[in-house]
Amino acid sequence: MLTPRLPALVMITLTSALAALTSPRLAAAEGGGAMVPDWQNPQALHEGTEPPAATMTVFADAASALTFDATRSPWVRSLNGEWKYHWAATPKERVANFWRSDFDDAAWKTIRVPSNPEVEGYGVPIYTNIAYPWKPVNPPLIPDDALNHVSAYRRSFTVPAEWAGREVYLTFDGVNSFFTLWLNGKKLGFSKDSRTPATFRLTPHLRTGENQLAVEVFRWCDGSYLEDQDFWRLSGIFRDVTLWSTPTVHVRDFRVRTLLDPAYRDATLDLTLNLQNRGANARTVKLEMVVNDPAGKEVLRQTLPDAAVAADDSAELHASARVVNPQKWSAEIPQLYTLLITAKDEHGALLEVIPWRVGFRSVEIRDGQLLVNGMPTLFRGVNRHEWDPDLGQVMTRARMIEDIRLMKQHNINAVRTCHYPNVPLWYALCDEYGLYVIDEANIESHGMGYGEASLARHAEWGPAHLDRTVRMFERDKNHACIITWSLGNEAGFGENFVRTYEWLKAADPTRPVQYEGDRSTRVSDIVCPMYPNPATVRNYADLPRTKPFIMCEYAHAMGNSTGDIWAYWRPIYAGTRHLQGGYIWDWVDQGLRTPVPASRKIERLENPKSIPLDPKLGTFFAYGGTFGPPDVASDGNFCANGLINADRRPHPGLAEVKKAYQPIQIVAGDLAKTEVELQNWFDFLPAEAWLEGEWSVTSEGETLQRGPIDGLKLAPRARQRIALPVKSLSPVPGREYFLEVRFTLRSNTPWADAGHEVAWEQFELPWSAPAPIAEGTSGGKLTLQREGDRVAVRGDGFAATFSQKTGLLVSLTSGEIELLEAPLMPHFWRAPVDNDRGSHMPSTEPAKSFWQPGGMGAWRDAHTTWSARAVHVREGAGGRIEIEVDGMIGKFESRQRLAWTVLPSGDVVVETTYFPSEKPHPEMPRFGMQTTLRAGFDQLAWLGKGPHETYWDRQSARVGLYRGTVAEQFFPYIKPQETGNKEAVRWIALTDAHGRGVLAIGDPLLSANALHATTEDLFAATQKENFYPYQLPDRKTVTLNLDLKQRGVGGDDSWGALPHAEYRLATWPTTYRYRLHVLRGGENLEELGRARLK
């Protein structure tokens, strides 16, 4: 089927959009006056650029085209590499006439292209979230100050001889922000949108032999008002630069659509071609499309009618073909067909071959749900900024594949390209590996607010809004992975977005469009809020809806975060209609790797190259406020919200995300019969097609039984109850037994090897025998000695000494070895995590009333106001020594009782109760006790959840027996904070190399932590103050916390949201109990931990 043109509506709107791309500059400033500079004119968008088109590579033959390797094309040359470079601090200081062919650049340095100059040692990297990094803010004007750096680039090239008589183009995939191009001294034009390509036709201005390119790049321009994203403000030629050639008549653009029938079985392949003839004579082009299936077998070959293209003109062709039951593309099964578009001239001579990978899939919204290939898909998503710790915003293929593999390995199936179109290769990789993508236009004007000043409401900014949307669509329209278009982010709402929505819906009726800034959803087919609380999510689904609810941002993963993500997913897995997941903010910390200063103090640096690297000191990850003078705009470490560090080391919280996102959800059946119930939340893959199931019975880290899960028949969205063939056993007294169920990859995939764990669950089995009773009297008789204001209790190989003044344990010895560096005493404070800083948890605001109890920071030093009102020492039954302390937390005038019971066996039983007074109390961050162990007791073992850190609201981890060093418990968040905690601890032991030390046994469970850093070492009150891991003291002592609980880490957002109420400590009378056992070396920790005292 041939059609001479697109449907009328699409053609009209497309024509007007393309006109906007090349609209003339304003003649003068409003009211008359001087000419408005191009770089401050919001209606001067591009000059001399080609109309936007789909990503494509031109090959000389089908064999090379099938490789998809641009280096195999004789018509493509990369201009990446070393360019001559000059940096100017301001526009006024830029080099004049450097674009002239005879300009002498011998004294210039070179810079790598692509790169960000600020990362390479030129100028100041700036990070802000909302505020524009220049003043005054007066769009479209940009101040001509010292921060608007200007980069000048020069590069020569020679056109290959075989390109003679052909068209030659130059494409810049990304330049930030306003750049002008000259060729051989001739100005070709300029462009502004930093995240979509700008292509220039070079042909009329080329010369034989060497040609000279010159590029001038302003860091900021009027377009920067639309690029106010939450990221580092960097500049330069930061994406690929490509020289390429076509025949005089060629395929300028193409569009592929795959239209599935109502049964989602057969498909229509719909192809639209735009042909361009740059020659002086009319031409006839013969076109053919060939489609190969994923195995390389040809399934379609269709010759199109000859296309006549007039001289210096263009023409469009439309073709369609039916494909019977093609393999469908999805993130689960990313099946890709290969389309070859072949063009020949009138005589049958081959002109070009253009390959494309086609995914047959459909996207639609029906009955308030978003359907992929007819299935209401769950989006286990994440937002992703383009970031490299060493290259800044320059992306490499290896880094992108690393990200995709990590995402897939952690059950992430969807990505939002926050908040701009990513490099073209990203989409090809998402097509290949299987990730759903929200493609977002490069529009964010957050700093203008959402009211009347919003640029979305001002007509003069309309062309720029539309331009950026059109260019995104035209470049990326053929990718199967893109299931939704986004109009932008945090840019207010107004008529400019209405027009971009209308254009997109006319141009592409096959995909939904979303925009979070439109609360009315007039221009959003999806309700896509940011950071709703879980109650809001549930409430949406309580009423009839016509649009799906998919959070564009949620679970702000800043630092030690992602607490209680299950609150969002429990209703989803309960089958609540309309709720289809969301996109966590965000994927990677935007930290710049920077050498540690020799002073190990905070120093004002110009950029990461300001000081040399000392291998002994190493590097750290810099964030906002690290670089430039003190008055440079900064939002601190708010750029570090990732599930992974900048170097791609996963945060401990990513394990929680992987668990919540796992596609096989597992719940307990009748555990007495070792039954479990499975549900497959995939949409297209039966579990047995790609996973192997395994069950095991474990106890105290030991696997006692294991076997495969036979009879697995779990279709998409189906449930299956399975009774596992577990053999009965005689439980050992005091041991707990767990049933573990896990699913692993059956075979190798591009993103993980066979055996990679996809899903798991652990259940405590109802098997038990009463714990062995320890009399506590073994080990001989205790002696009690009073030494001044101290009471020393000595037994066989140990001694415990208490202060009669404070009532605290001040000394604990194993043999002659002292264990304690500081007393064991009540403790209520935790080092703030980033979410605490955002909610002002460290605030010391005074209490005003019972309902306004003041800041939680009052607890920071509350332990120092402990005093003992009375200390009673007596000998108890069975030879034990009992010390009862009636204490007071002076800061809150609250009583706290401490009871110490020392047993001949080397055990010290500890019990404490807090009695809040009538005085207003802020929430207690933690309830427990803290001591410091002397250096050397750094070998750690625990029976509890692990191996990674866990918290009250983030503890999807297996109960097991884990070992390591204290140093290994510290996670290097970009900004030091609370880290290393362990939940559901049965026992925890700290020992030296000889096994001497202390064992703490919960009664029944503890929340425990052991770090070299002290709580105070890790303190920083706000997100904006700079504080780096290299500033921490190099301690060898061990800070040990033995707690009932500390508050959850939270994570609904990082600027006010508290941990959910069920994970916070209320100020009621609170009691807990545990015991210490002095280790002499060689003991069986598991046996000691099982025993319960009589």
Would you please indicate which residues are annotated as catalytic (active-site) residues? Answer: 490, 553
Burial class (CB in 10 A: 0-12, 13-18, 19+), 911: middle
Burial class (CB in 10 A: 0-12, 13-18, 19+), 411: middle
Radius of gyration (Cα) for the chain, nearest Å?
33
**Are 328 and 13 in contact, with CB atoms under 8 Å apart?**
no
C-alpha angle 905-907-913 in degrees, rounded to nearest 5:
150
Give the chain's largest Cα–Cα span.
112
Residues listed for the chain: 1094
Tell which residue, 411, 410, 415, 412, has the closest CA to residue 436: 415
Tell which residue, 195, 53, 219, has the closest CA to residue 124: 219
Residue type, 367: D
**Are 1085 and 987 in contact, with CB atoms under 8 Å apart?**
yes
Rounded Cα gap, residues 192 and 620, in angstroms: 33
Rounded Cα gap, residues 89 and 122, in angstroms: 9
Rounded Cα gap, residues 729 and 768, in angstroms: 10
Q: Dump the DSSP string for 309-331.
A: E-TTEEEEEEEEEEESSPPBB-S
> What tokens appear for 981 in the block?
């905690």
Could you tell me if residue 1081 is left (phi over 0), alpha (psi between -120 and 50 degrees) or otherwise beta?
A: left
- Tokens 């239209």 identify what position? 259
**Are 741 and 761 in contact, with CB atoms under 8 Å apart?**
yes
Query: What is the enclosing helix (H) or strand (E) of 658?
Result: helix 653-661
Rounded Cα gap, residues 579 and 369, in angstroms: 8
Query: What is the enclosing helix (H) or strand (E) of 569?
Result: helix 566-573
**Are 464 and 441 in contact, with CB atoms under 8 Å apart?**
no
Query: What is the enclosing helix (H) or strand (E) of 539?
Result: helix 534-540
Query: What is the enclosing helix (H) or strand (E) of 836?
Result: helix 834-838
- Tokens 């919003």 identify what position? 454
Rounded Cα gap, residues 505 and 14, in angstroms: 12
Rounded Cα gap, residues 218 and 229, in angstroms: 18
> What tokens appear for 466 in the block?
């539309």
Reduce the DSSP state of residue 357 to 3 states and report it. Answer: strand
Burial class (CB in 10 A: 0-12, 13-18, 19+), 693: buried
Q: What are phi and psi of 988, to 5 degrees?
A: -145, 135
**Are 784 and 881 in contact, with CB atoms under 8 Å apart?**
yes
For strands 719-723 and 702-708, give the pairing: unpaired
| CB atoms inside a 10 Å sphere around CB 329 | 26
- 586: preceding bond cis by omega (within 30 degrees): yes
| CB atoms inside a 10 Å sphere around CB 959 | 23
Contacting residues for 265 by C-beta, under 8 A, at least 6 apart: 325
**Adjacent-strand bridge partners of 436:** 414
Rounded Cα gap, residues 611 and 121, in angstroms: 10
Contacting residues for 733 by C-beta, under 8 A, at least 6 apart: 769, 770, 771, 772, 1090
**Are 554 and 346 in contact, with CB atoms under 8 Å apart?**
no
- Tokens 């959803």 identify what position? 521
